[in-house]
Structure formats: C-alpha cells, structure tokens
C-alpha cells in the first residue's frame, strides 16, 4: 500500500527570533509549510498555510497585531490551492484537512478546500470557539469556522485505520495542538508543526516566551524526541535551515 507525501511552502513570514525561542536574538524567516498525503483511501492536507488576504493587507483581515509582529513574504501563487493546482491536484478533491492547531498560518487556507472534512482535536476546536480563549491564544474564527464538516478528535487518531497516517496529540503550544505521523515505505515521518519550531527547540528545549502550557509542551517535546530516537524523521515546524533540505512538490518525500 503506497503512501505519497509532498511538502509545499505557502509563503514566508519574518519575525523576531526571540518570539520563538527564549533568549534568542535577531530575526528569523519562517517557511509556512503545508503537506499533501495521498493514501489509497483518501487525500489529506496537513495544515493549509495563510489566507490569501495576507498577500495584500493582513491588517484588514486581522487588525494591527499580526502586521506588527510579522513581515509577510507571500504572493499570489503561494496559497495552498495554487500549490496543489501546480501539481495537478484539485483543491476541491481534498478529502481531509488535518489542522495541527488554529493559528492563522496553519488554517488560513481552509477556505480554499471547500469539500474537505476538518480533523482537529476537540480541546483546540472548543478553545477556538470560546471568544475569551481565542483572543488569548491568537485564534481568528473567520479562518476556521467556515461550515466544513468538523471531526473533533479526543487524543490519538488513526485516520484510515491502518496505522499509516496517525494524529498525535502534542499539546502545549496551544490547548489541543497535534502532530501527524506518516508511515512511508521503510521509515516514519513526524510532521511536528508548532510542537517544535526548530531542530534547536528539540535539542535545547528553549520554548517560546508565550505558550499555552509549558509543562505540556515539554512533554510533547519528550514524545517527539522518543519518536526520533526510535528512528522517525521529525519535520520541524518553521525551521528555515531544515526546510532547505526538504524536497518540494512536485518532488516526493521518500
């Protein structure tokens, strides 16, 4: 049973490295990853990048906070639907969107995938629908509450029932963050998303200054480290140096 995995960059943002790693200096340019997984039983997108409004005027969509924190390098053709079309995949034929969490750079493209069912951890979805929690955590309901069928998960979830594509709870960054394990021929890949921004995050255990639950995030890093020690390849959430080594679609990750 063949599983195909494709990585795509849906633009970049630049921000202070100190926002992402305690005590760090300088700026960091962050790739915004999306991943297409093709399984014999369905087509999955793990995270969807930014909304196309961020190409022109993110402040109009989100208010002044995000433009004050990020510089956007995101142009027409970078949105996830265009990335899919560039490799002859129809965005309307994506069966499942798995959102790691509900931040703008991970759910902004949900609007471009009209027929997908969304798989998200229940704790994350409920936090996103609570106005007070959403405000504290930087969730914008217009990005994710769009009328898709939403499947709220409670913990680990085997998407196709064969152990090849499995949602892994990795809370801490947000209330219900999840990563995704993909079993390719001969190896496991774990798409960590923001449970682990950088390779340095896993090695040095330097968290961002602001997270939902520091102890939970350390436990999630422990889980990722154990998976890595067991032979899995970790794909870090926004590590530009790592991302330069990742084959981009139409090349396939093998």
The two structure tokens encoding residue 116: 């997908």
Residue range of the domain that includes 183 = 4-243
- Could you tell me the pLDDT band of residue 211, with boundaries at 50, 70 and 90? very high
Q: Nearest CA to 28 among 193, 169, 253, 238?
A: 238
Report if residue 209 sits inside a domain: yes
Report if residue 252 sits inside a domain: no
Q: What's the rounded Cα separation, in Å, for the pair 228 and 226? A: 5
pLDDT of residue 158: 98
Q: What does 118-157 look like in DSSP terms, one character per residue?
A: EEEEHHHHHHHHSHHHHHHHT--HHHH-SS--EEEE-S-E
Report if residue 251 sits inside a domain: no
pTM for this model (two decimals): 0.96
CATH number, domain of 61, equals 3.60.15.10
pLDDT digits (tens, 9 = 90+) for 21-43: 999 999 999 999 999 999 999 99
Report if residue 58 sits inside a domain: yes
pLDDT of residue 186: 87
Mean pLDDT calculated for residue range 73-101: 98
Report if residue 30 sits inside a domain: yes
pLDDT digits (tens, 9 = 90+) for 227-242: 999 999 999 999 999 9
Q: Nearest CA to 180 among 31, 34, 19?
A: 34
Report if residue 50 sits inside a domain: yes
27 to 14, 19, 20, 30, 175: CA distances (angstroms) = 7, 9, 10, 10, 27
Mean pLDDT calculated for residue range 186-197: 96
Report if residue 207 sits inside a domain: yes
Torsions phi, psi of 26, nearest 5? Answer: 85, -170
Q: What's the rounded Cα separation, in Å, for the pair 98 and 116? A: 9
Report if residue 37 sits inside a domain: yes
Q: How many domains does the chain have?
A: 1
pLDDT digits (tens, 9 = 90+) for 127-161: 999 999 999 899 999 999 999 999 999 999 999 99
């Amino acid at each position: 049973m063949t599983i195909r995995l494709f990585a795509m960059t849906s633009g970049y943002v630049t921000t202070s490295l100190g926002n992402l790693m305690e005590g760090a200096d300088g700026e960091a340019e962050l790739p915004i990853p999306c991943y297409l997984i093709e399984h014999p039983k369905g087509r999955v997108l793990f995270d969807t990048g930014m909304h196309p409004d961020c190409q022109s005027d993110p402040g109009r969509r989100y208010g002044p906070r995000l433009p004050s924190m990020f510089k956007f390098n995101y142009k027409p053709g970078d949105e996830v639907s265009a990335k899919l079309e560039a490799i002859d995949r129809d965005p309307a034929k994506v069966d499942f969107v798995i959102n790691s969490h509900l931040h703008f750079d991970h759910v902004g493209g949900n609007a471009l995938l009209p027929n997908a069912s969304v798989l998200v951890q229940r704790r994350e979805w409920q936090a996103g629908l609570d106005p007070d929690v959403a405000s504290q955590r930087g969730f914008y309901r217009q990005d994710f509450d769009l009328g898709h069928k939403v499947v709220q998960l409670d913990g680990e979830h085997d998407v196709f029932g064969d152990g090849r594509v499995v949602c892994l709870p990795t809370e801490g960054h947000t209330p219900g963050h999840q990563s995704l394990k993909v079993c390719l021929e001969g190896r496991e890949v774990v798409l960590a998303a923001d449970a682990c921004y950088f390779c340095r995050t896993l090695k040095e255990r330097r968290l961002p200054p602001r997270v939902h639950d520091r102890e939970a995030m350390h436990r999630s890093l422990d889980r990722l480290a154990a998976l890595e020690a067991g032979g899995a390849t970790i794909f870090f959430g926004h590590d530009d140096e790592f991302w330069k080594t990742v084959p981009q679609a139409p090349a396939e990750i093998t």
